[in-house]
Amino acid sequence: MSSPGVFANLTAQRACWHPVAFASEITDRPAHADLLGEPLVVWRGADGTPRAMSDLCVHRGTALSLGWVKGDELVCAYHGWRYGADGRCTAIPQKEDPAAVPAKARVAAYRAQERYGLIWVALDEPRWPLPEVPELEDGEWIIVPAGPYRWRCDAARQVENFTDFGHFPWVHPGLLGDPERPVVPPYQVETDGHVLRYQIVRPEAPNSDDFPVFANEQAGPPERRSRYELHLPYTIVLRLGWGGQRGMVYFFASQPVAADQCVGYVVIGRNYNTDQPDRVIQEFEDTIFGQDQVVVESQRPERVPFDLAAELHLKFDAVAVAYRKTMRDLGLAASDAIGITAK
Ligand code: FES
Ligand code: CO
């Protein structure tokens, strides 16, 4: 299924942290996840820390996620072979001496960590650490997860959609944009290693839920400043502010399940409107992501073409241009891409 052109590079992406689940979903019961075409089993060890291994028993290829955790080991559901957190098989019950295990009996174990309410996995030594988002960790902000949003598209398409200003009035009229105000204010993208930074300032939409908070404080809608950090390949930190202490952090990360599948996770932090129920925020996000999904899943090619000659870019597409260029410059997109498909 690999198409001609320049697409996401599998080898380089293996050396990045990616989310594989909301942390709340991962317990001491093994769970299955797919990352870059690799089947994973994810669970919590005896000390509560997340673990990730290949979801394929070396004996007969059974999914280890069907098994269970005993002590700090994973037991295969088929013949009861046991695996340690490092992926080494530690016991084969069928043998006279179960502890006499051939050295070959091991599966790949991967780095895993829990942060920002998500479980992250890197298949190879990660090139960059996770972004720093103190607002989500200081304990003062209200945190609400939204999603996961499973889309039949490349993670890069999902990320580009999140940063695409031009579509707001068209796809989300009355929610994120106003068709009477389609012009994207000018902005500049600064590239800092694997991080793109840009900000956009616009008057607060009069229909915004947030507007009543400010209504008594100033005449007319306040200006809303949106500061973006796009951490390549697929994580975005968006900070919204109105010039005072009140703020909102919008954390988004897309899990590259396979070349044509992704899962988006949203974690929203805020220090105002603290009594708004989580459900209201989650339903709003479900609506927005649902509106986007229809459009993005229709895009062809399915995967973002990182070759800048492909597609037509205008000035307000500066984020997508910088994203595609930097993905290439850093080797995250390359022409030797492997056509990874979902199982
Ligand atoms: Fe896992 Fe046999 S398939 S123990
Ligand atoms: Co949208």
Domains of the chain: 17-122 (2.102.10.10), 134-337 (3.90.380.10)
- The ipTM (two decimal places) reads 0.97
Spatial separation of the C-alpha atoms in residues 49 and 220, rounded to whole Å = 49
Residue whose Cα lies nearest atom 2 of ligand 1: it is 79
Region 109-134: mean pLDDT is 98
The confidence score (pLDDT) of residue 339 equals: 47
Question: How high is the mean pLDDT of the chain?
Answer: 90
The Å distance, Cα 328 to ligand 1 centre, comes to 41
| Higher local confidence (pLDDT), 303 or 78 | 78
- CA 108 to ligand 2 center in whole angstroms: 37
Residue 307 pLDDT grade (very low, low, confident, very high; cuts 50, 70, 90): confident
Cβ of 78 closer than 6 Å to ligand 1, yes or no, is: yes
Quick one: pLDDT at residue 74?
Answer: 97
Pocket test for ligand 1, best of 60, 73, 92 (most atoms within 8 A of CB): 60
Query: How far apart are the CA of 289 and the centre of ligand 2, in A?
Result: 7
* Omega within 30 of 0 (cis) for the link into 233: yes
Report the 3 state secondary structure along 206-275. CCCCCHHHHHCCCCCCCEEEEEEEEECCCEEEEEEECCCCCEEEEEEEEEEEECCEEEEEEEEEECCCCC
Quick one: pLDDT band at residue 218, thresholds 50, 70, 90? low
In short, whether 79's Cβ falls inside 6 Å of ligand 1 is yes
Q: Residue 334 pLDDT more than 90?
A: no
* pLDDT value, residue 4: 41
The torsion angle over the Cα atoms of residues 232, 255, 170 and 186, rounded to 10 degrees, is: -10
The verdict on the CB of residue 205 being under 6 Å from ligand 1 is no
- pLDDT value for 336: 43
Site of tokens 């990874």: 340
Q: How confident is the model at residue 338 (pLDDT cuts 50, 70, 90)?
A: very low
Report the separation in Å between the CA atom of 218 and the middle of ligand 2, taken as the mean of its atom positions.
29
**Phi/psi at 263 (nearest 5 deg)?**
-135, 125
Q: Report the amino acid identity of residue 172.
A: H
Q: How far apart are CA 235 and CA 195, in angstroms?
A: 10
Q: Decide whether any atom of ligand 1 lies within 6 Å of the 98 Cβ.
A: no
Distances (CA, A) of 73 to 155, 209, 240: 32, 48, 44
pLDDT band at 337 (very low <50, low <70, confident <90, very high): very low
Residue 243's pLDDT band (cuts 50, 70, 90): confident
Among 66, 76, 101, residue to substitute to test ligand 1 (most atoms within 8 Å of Cβ): 76
Per-residue pLDDT band for 340 (boundaries 50, 70, 90) equals very low
Q: Tell me what percent of the residues of the chain surpass a pLDDT of 70.
A: 89
Please give the number of the atom of ligand 1 that sits closest to the Cα of 64: 1
Identify the pLDDT of residue 5. Answer: 53
Q: Is the pLDDT of residue 53 over 90?
A: yes
Given a contact cutoff of 8 angstroms between Cβ atoms, the answer to whether 248 and 136 are in contact is no
Q: Of the bound ligands, which one is closest to the alpha carbon of residue 169?
A: 2
Span from the CA of 95 to the centroid of ligand 1 (angstroms)? 13
Indicate whether 208 pLDDT > 90: no
pLDDT band with cut points at 50, 70 and 90 for residue 343: very low
Look at residue 7 and tell me whether its pLDDT is greater than 80: no
d(CA 49, CA 26): 10
Q: Helices H, strands E: what count in the chain?
A: 6, 19
| DSSP H/E element including 292 | helix 278-297
Say which amino acid occupies 246.
R
| Per-residue pLDDT, 342 | 37
Q: Ligand 1 center to residue 56 CA distance, Å? A: 9
Ligand in closest contact with the CA of 294: 2
Closest residue by CA, ligand 1 atom 3: 60
Output the CA 92–ligand 1 centroid distance in Å: 9
2 pLDDT higher than 50: no
